[in-house]
């Protein structure tokens, strides 16, 4: 098994119920942060971390994702005809960003089941999993930070962040020992514990590096929380057989799958834009809050 992480899986078959009615006919992964869809941020993170091949696990009504990463002949023709070279280059770059393939998850049976659809794609290699809901704004790409830990310990790695108070019950949570600054060796993990039962304040967020033995564990995992096959349950079973590590990411993680988190991310990213930031900042300061 190669020690290089070359492949990444993007589960994108969820129904996006937290954003209804916007997601009734449009994938939540295509909701724009300023002018770029959520999933493009994560795909760019993967490519900037050294990923060569991407599998997007889709479902019904998700064709706009495929269209976004495809060549748009009509649009490109119009842009060239009108001399909008910069826009043409921007649109074409999206189609050339990476080798992207797609597979259908016919039933939304949870994240574990979505990852299982990548078994043939992984071809017995370790691989990354990125959830487009989690947008990580970091100087060094979040996945790159994790790959460096994987290459050092040759073991599965998950991303974690500190969550204070009752909010911890919305996440998978790890029990772990810190082995070096911001790197933890995991002892146990539990899916969505109560605040009282949470083993720590370290929550699992939407970035994983998994080894191919995870597929057997997923296939042998019964439905858990919400009647779904939870990846946390499968990882917990694998934890009995091999070491797992976690990285507390450097950077800001935005939960763009939550309405408030999405709005916060939109403001943060807009303020960083050279073409928008100054005027947007003036506007915000003018508000009587």
**Does residue 215 have a pLDDT over 90?**
yes
Q: What is the arithmetic mean of pLDDT over 171-193?
A: 92
Separation CA 191–CA 201 (nearest Å): 13
Confidence bin at 193 (pLDDT 50/70/90):
confident
What percentage of the chain has pLDDT greater than the value 70?
99
- What does the angle CA 264 – CA 269 – CA 272 come to, to the nearest 5 degrees? 130
- The residues near 253 (Cβ < 8 Å, ≥ 6 apart) are 134, 135, 136, 137, 142, 161, 205
What is the mean predicted confidence (pLDDT) over 95-120?
91
pLDDT number for residue 192: 83
Averaged pLDDT for residues 141-161: 96
Residue 221 pLDDT class (50, 70, 90 cuts): confident
Range name among 94-108, 111-125, 198-212 with the lowest pLDDT average: 94-108
pLDDT attached to residue 101: 95
Q: Name the fold adopted by 7-282.
A: Spore Coat Polysaccharide Biosynthesis Protein SpsA; Chain A (3.90.550)
Instruction: Give the separation between CA 10 and CA 54, rounded to whole angstroms.
Output: 7
- Has residue 76 got a pLDDT over 60? yes
Q: Mean pLDDT over residues 110-124, rounded?
A: 93
Q: Which of 66-80, 98-112, 138-152 has the highest mean pLDDT?
A: 138-152
Domain boundaries, the chain: 7-282
Q: Is residue 68 over pLDDT 70? A: yes
pTM score, two decimals?
0.92
């Amino acid at each position: 098994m190669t020690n290089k992480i070359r492949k990444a899986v993007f589960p994108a078959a969820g129904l996006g119920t937290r954003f209804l009615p916007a997601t009734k006919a449009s994938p939540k992964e295509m909701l724009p942060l300023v002018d770029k869809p959520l999933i493009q941020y994560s795909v760019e993170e993967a490519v900037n971390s050294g990923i060569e091949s991407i599998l997007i696990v889709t479902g019904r009504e998700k064709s706009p994702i495929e269209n976004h990463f495809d060549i748009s002949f009509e649009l490109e023709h119009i842009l060239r005809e009108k001399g909008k070279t910069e826009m043409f280059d921007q649109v074409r770059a999206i189609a050339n960003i990476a080798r992207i393939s797609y597979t259908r998850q016919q039933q939304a049976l949870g994240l574990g089941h979505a990852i299982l659809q990548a078994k043939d794609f992984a071809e017995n290699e370790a691989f990354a999993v990125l959830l487009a809901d989690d947008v990580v704004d970091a100087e060094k790409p979040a996945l790159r930070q994790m790959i460096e830990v994987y290459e050092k310990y040759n073991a599965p790695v998950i991303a974690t962040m500190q969550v204070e108070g009752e909010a911890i019950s919305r996440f998978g949570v790890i029990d772990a020992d810190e082995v070096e600054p911001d790197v933890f060796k995991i002892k146990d993990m539990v899916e969505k514990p109560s605040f009282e039962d949470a083993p720590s304040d370290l929550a699992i967020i939407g970035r994983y590096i998994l080894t191919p033995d995870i597929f057997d564990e997923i296939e042998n995992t019964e439905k858990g929380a919400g009647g779904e096959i939870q990846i946390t349950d499968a990882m917990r079973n694998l934890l009995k057989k091999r070491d797992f590590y976690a990285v507390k990411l450097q950077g800001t993680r935005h939960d763009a799958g939550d309405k408030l988190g999405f709005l916060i991310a939109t403001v943060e990213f807009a303020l960083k834009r050279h073409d928008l930031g100054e005027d947007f900042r003036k506007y915000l300061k003018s508000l009587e809050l």
